[in-house]
């Protein structure tokens, strides 16, 4: 049977790619990054901080939109601003959700040199799903822990005719697969022949 999901491939969780096809794209990315860093070095610190805030805010809002979630942009901006040492907008109420998102994205971007461990991944998970009274969806999630034995699917459409866009690997063997990935990720930091642009985190939890 033809595999449906990436984890059904026979070499999973081995990661392979066509370096010859990726090299030109990664080169363009590095060149664009160099130009951006050059422009950033020529602006004053206040403008640089504002640019960082805008970039992080756009990243959070866009990522959440992919999942169909509409965030309170003002709340997220205030959470980011406070952590970046900037003044939040007057009147913006900060929610637990925006606080968690700001905490996660700043940890991932400012502490990028820290090891990526299981504990860190689960801490990010806690920040993604803060406890909120009456939040039935959050109660159904194993917050800060790996999921249970039930299947994890990304679905849309009617309840009687759902469309399954993705199904995660079975719970059995999940810890071992994560250990393999985390070891590969950490070893990849020191491999001269591995471009950091190739290192991506798949959906496990």
Note the pLDDT tens digit of each residue in 130-165: 875 445 455 567 888 998 888 888 888 888 888 888
Q: Please report whether residue 64 resides in a domain.
A: yes
- Residue 14: what pLDDT? 80
Radius of gyration of the chain from its Cα atoms, rounded to whole angstroms: 20
Residues near 104 by Cβ (< 8 Å), separated by ≥ 6?
Answer: 124, 127, 128
Determine the structural domain holding residue 65 and report its residue range.
29-114
Within a domain: 92? yes
Instruction: Decide if 49 is inside a domain.
Output: yes
Is 123 inside a domain boundary? no
Q: Please tell me the total count of domains within the chain.
A: 1
- pTM to 2 decimals? 0.75
**Is 100 part of a structural domain of the chain?**
yes
Q: Which of 135, 181, 155 is nearest to 143 (CA)?
A: 135
Is 9 a member of any domain?
Answer: no
CA distance 98 to 123: 15
Q: Is residue 57 part of a domain?
A: yes
Q: Is residue 4 part of a domain?
A: no
The pLDDT tens digits for 166-195 are 899 999 999 999 999 899 888 888 877 776
């Amino acid at each position: 049977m033809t595999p449906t999901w990436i984890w059904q491939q026979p070499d999973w969780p081995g990661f392979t790619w066509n370096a010859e096809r990726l090299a030109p794209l990664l080169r363009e990315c590095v060149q664009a990054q160099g130009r951006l860093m050059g422009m950033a070095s020529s602006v004053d610190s206040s403008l640089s901080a504002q640019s960082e805030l805008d970039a992080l805010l756009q990243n959070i809002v866009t990522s959440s939109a992919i999942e169909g979630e509409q965030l309170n942009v003002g709340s997220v901006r205030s959470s980011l601003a406070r952590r970046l040492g900037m003044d939040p907008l007057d009147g913006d109420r900060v929610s637990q959700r925006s606080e968690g998102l700001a905490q996660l994205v700043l940890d991932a971007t400012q502490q990028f040199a820290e090891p990526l461990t299981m504990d860190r991944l689960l801490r990010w998970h806690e920040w993604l799903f803060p406890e909120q009274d009456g939040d039935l969806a959050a109660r159904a999630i194993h917050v800060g822990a790996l999921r249970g034995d039930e299947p994890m699917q990304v679905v849309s459409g009617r309840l009687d005719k759902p469309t399954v866009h993705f199904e995660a690997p079975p719970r059995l063997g999940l810890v071992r697969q994560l250990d393999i990935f985390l070891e590969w990720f950490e070893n990849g930091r020191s491999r001269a022949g591995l471009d950091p642009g190739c290192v991506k985190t798949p959906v496990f939890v």
